[in-house]
Every structure is written in C-alpha cells, then in structure tokens.
Amino acid sequence: MNNGAEIELQVRRGLHSSLISIASNFFLALCKCLVGVIGHSFALVADGVESLSDVFSSGVVYFGLRFAMKPPDKEHPYGHGKAEPVAAAIVSVGMGVAALFIALEAVSLIQTPHLLPLPYTLYVLVVVVALKILLARYVSSVASDIDSTAVKSDAWHHLSDAITSVFAFVGISVALITKNPAADDWAALCAVPVILYNAWRQLQAPLKEILDTAPPPDIEAHVRKVAASVPGVIGLEKCFVRKVGFRYYVDLHVVVNGSLTVRAGHTIGHKVEDCVLAEVNRVARVLVHVEPEEELFNPSHSEM
C-alpha cells in the first residue's frame, strides 16, 4: 500500500471514530440533561451540557479531517493538512468554554436553594462513566494509530466528560448522605479546574503543529538514516521535518563529492528523494539540496 492510500485509510478511520463520538455524545447528552432535570441534579445537567459541547467538538473534528483530506491546489501547494490541528485547537478551546459555563451555573445554584437530587441519578452516572471511558480508550487508540492531534483531542474530551461524571456521582452521593443539595453543585464546580487543565494540556499539541514545531526526533533520525544510505551521499548537512496534517514534509541538504557533474549530483538528489518517500511512512514531499563536499569548508559559503 502506498503512502497516499495508507493516509486515506487512516483518515477514514478518524472520520469513523468522529461519527461514533457524535452519535454517542448526542444520546448521552439528552439522557443526562433529561435525568438531571427530572432528578434535581445540576451536576448531571452540567455533565449533559458538557456532552452537548462534545457533540460540537466531534463535529469540528469530523469536518476538520474531511477538509484536511483535500489534495494540494494552486492556493494551497502544501495541501490542507493544517485544518487538522486547527480543529484540535478549536476542540480544546471548546472544552475550556464548557468548563467556564459549568462554573458560572454552579456558583449561581450554590447560592439558590433547590431540591435534593434523586437517588436513581447515581445509576445513570455509573453507566455514563463506563461508556465514556470505553469511548475515550477507543478514540485514543485510533488517534495513536493515525497520529492525529484532532482525534486525540476528541479522546480527551471524552475523558473530561467521564471526569465530570465522576465528580457528579460524588456530589450527588454527598448530597444524599448529608441532605445538603449544594453538595451536588459543589461537585460540578470542583470538576471545572480538571477540565480547564485538560483543555490547556491538549491545546499545546495543535499549537506546536500549527507553528511548525519539529516532530518527534525518531522521524528525523529515520529520514537521516535512509538518506545517508543512498550511494553517493557523503553526509547530511541539514535535515528539517515538519508535520502538515497527516503528512510530513522534509527539507534535506545532502553532501556529495564536489568533483561530480551537475547531472550526477542531481541524480543522487533524486535517489535520496525516492528512497525517503518509499521508506519513511507518511512523507508527502522531500526537497533535496545538494552540497559539494569542499563547499562546507569554504569560509565564504553562506546559507541562503
């Protein structure tokens, strides 16, 4: 399977996981909001609102992945891969906004007398936590397999939802034991810092990708190893790798014998390009600059 076909298959896996996330989040959000209102539990209602934000975030991931799949065109010669980390960043910001909404509503209800939550809301939360943990594990495994920051953010959104549900369970339990309805609201408030921390943590990866931060060193090491193995390559002066969506773009400066003809050096450069494209997964393009060996020792040589 070539790089292009493999990447398309990986993106389709990400799209499939996003559709599962959208459907499950919408169903869970309706159930939690309905049971929370009937059962007098704001922690459960807040949990449902957080699940509704998950529907939005999973939708952003889905459309972000679809846009990232578009091939390069005249206006986007490097493709549309940056849509993927942008989608991940939107999801992370969405997590933070949902957390702030929960905080504001919790503070308001703490100051307002209301009924005790009903005991059956605890059973709903047990089911919700179990389902959310399973979803988080599934989506996270897909994210790891396809190396997607957007899908990874979606997995963390599932996990934050599970954390909110755990806090809601504790809050409702304390409220029922102490006969103090405010415990339920305090539980929702206590979940806010956890969600905000996860949102900030997940925002780092897409920001790094958008800013073209170097990928993990093993990618560069693999590129260097493959390039250095090409006959005629004496050494490597530079190797820059950046991630654009699901693909990597490589800039290489290879060192060859300075006495070679331009045509011979050009041929070696093409061989390096072909080998890197064939042997390093998800590399979309390789730009090879050929350096003559003696040029490295010339004090007047300046980098362009």
Is 54 in the same domain as 129?
yes
The pLDDT of residue 4 is 57
Is 151 in the same domain as 201?
yes
Note the maximum CA span of the chain.
Answer: 88
Is 61 in the same domain as 116?
yes
- Confidence bin at 25 (pLDDT 50/70/90): confident
Q: What number is the average pLDDT over the span 55-67?
A: 81
Q: Is the pLDDT of residue 291 over 60?
A: yes
Last residue of a domain, one of 191, 210, 229: 210
The pLDDT of residue 208 is 81
Q: Is residue 241 part of a domain?
A: yes
Q: Is the pLDDT of residue 1 over 70?
A: no
Is 70 in the same domain as 105?
yes
Is 65 in the same domain as 206?
yes
Token pair belonging to 81 = 């891969």
Q: What number is the average pLDDT over the span 163-191?
A: 83
- Confidence bin at 271 (pLDDT 50/70/90): very high
Q: What letters, b where the CB count within 10 A reaches 16 and e where it falls short, cover 120-142?
A: ebbebbeebbebbbebbebbbeb
User: How many Å is the Cα radius of gyration of the chain?
Assistant: 26
Last residue of a domain, one of 184, 210, 236: 210
Q: Is residue 304 part of a domain?
A: no
Q: Is residue 95 part of a domain?
A: yes
Q: In what order do the strands lie in the sheet with 247-256?
A: 235-244, 247-256, 283-292
Q: Is the pLDDT of residue 3 over 60?
A: no
Q: How far apart are CA 205 and CA 178, in angstroms?
A: 43
The enclosing domain of 152 has a CATH number of 1.20.1510.10
Q: Is residue 302 part of a domain?
A: no
Last residue of a domain, one of 192, 210, 228: 210
Residues 6+ apart with CB under 8 A from 119: 176
What share of the chain has pLDDT > 70, as a percent? 92
Which range of residues forms the domain containing residue 288?
A: 217-297
The pLDDT of residue 186 is 85
Q: Is residue 94 part of a domain?
A: yes
Is 114 in the same domain as 205?
yes
Q: Is residue 268 part of a domain?
A: yes
Q: Is residue 303 part of a domain?
A: no
Q: Is residue 263 part of a domain?
A: yes
42-68 vs 149-178: helix axis angle to the nearest 10? 180
Is 226 in the same domain as 201?
no
Q: How many structural domains is the chain composed of?
A: 2
Comparing 85 with 301, which gets the higher pLDDT? Answer: 85
The enclosing domain of 247 has a CATH number of 3.30.70.1350
Is 143 in the same domain as 238?
no
The pLDDT of residue 303 is 46
- Confidence bin at 294 (pLDDT 50/70/90): low
Is 31 in the same domain as 123?
yes
83-127 confidence digits (pLDDT tens)? 878 888 888 888 788 788 878 878 887 887 777 788 888 888 888
Is 70 in the same domain as 117?
yes
Among the ranges given (3-12, 25-34, 140-149), the one the predictor scored with the smallest mean pLDDT: 3-12
216-241 confidence digits (pLDDT tens)? 778 888 999 999 999 988 888 888 88
41-51 confidence digits (pLDDT tens)? 776 777 777 67
Q: How far apart are CA 170 and CA 247, in angstroms?
A: 44
Is 48 in the same domain as 166?
yes
Report the half-sphere exposure of 133 (CA within 13 A, side-chain side).
Answer: 9
Is 206 in the same domain as 253?
no
Comparing 120 with 188, which gets the higher pLDDT? Answer: 120
